[in-house]
């Protein structure tokens, strides 16, 4: 790199140290929470019909379960809430959602979008978020900020195995 040779050294970090060292206590707290959220997500995922099952949905269920565990919800409450949210049949939209396409700038050939090998590339298409989801994310972030300011201890530390 930069005309010089560099060598990597072996890390002193081991799995045993991460599990026992107080410096990684918070890491293990989140790992325990994620394990519990994963079990909740798998229960809900198993209850869904086959045509709704996608791996991305499982990850979404797990992430949402982890969020509610941080807010000290009980496992039964989370399962009930997520089944209500995701257990309903999918409502098909009659028309496709609007897609925003980013266009390459006009002008010289050098200004068009290109990949590493110099070939021209199609513009990136992004889907616009529904208003309800955008508002949910906005209010959820504000709630988390307010909640975390008053938080002095981590309530989910009871899930950590020592």
Q: Hey, which residues does 101 pair with through a beta bridge?
A: 125
Taking the C-alpha atoms of residue 98 and residue 101, their distance in angstroms, rounded to an integer, is 10
Taking the C-alpha atoms of residue 63 and residue 70, their distance in angstroms, rounded to an integer, is 11
User: What is the pLDDT confidence band of residue 33, given thresholds at 50, 70 and 90?
Assistant: very high
pLDDT at residue 162 greater than cutoff 70: no
The pTM of this model reads: 0.49
Mean pLDDT of 8-31: 90
Mean pLDDT of 55-60: 92
Asked if 75 contacts 62 with a C-beta cutoff of 8 angstroms, the reply is no
User: What is the pLDDT confidence band of residue 161, given thresholds at 50, 70 and 90?
Assistant: very low
Mean pLDDT of 89-104: 57
Asked if 128 contacts 100 with a C-beta cutoff of 8 angstroms, the reply is yes
Mean pLDDT of 128-135: 80
Asked if 100 contacts 125 with a C-beta cutoff of 8 angstroms, the reply is yes
């Amino acid at each position: 790199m930069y005309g010089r040779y560099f060598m990597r050294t072996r890390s002193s970090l081991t799995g045993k140290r991460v599990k026992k060292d107080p410096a990684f206590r918070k890491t293990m707290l989140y790992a325990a929470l994620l394990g519990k959220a994963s079990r909740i997500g798998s229960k809900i995922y198993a209850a869904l019909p086959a045509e709704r099952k996608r791996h991305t949905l499982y990850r979404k269920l797990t992430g949402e379960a982890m969020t509610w565990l941080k807010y000290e919800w009980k496992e039964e409450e989370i399962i009930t809430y997520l089944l209500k949210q995701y257990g309903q049949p999918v409502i098909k939209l009659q028309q496709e959602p609007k897609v925003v396409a980013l266009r390459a700038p006009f002008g010289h050939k050098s200004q068009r979008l290109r990949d590493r090998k110099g070939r021209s590339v199609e513009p990136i298409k992004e889907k616009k978020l529904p208003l309800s989801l955008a508002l949910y994310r906005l209010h959820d972030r504000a709630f988390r900020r307010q909640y975390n300011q008053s938080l002095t201890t981590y309530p989910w530390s009871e899930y950590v195995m020592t």
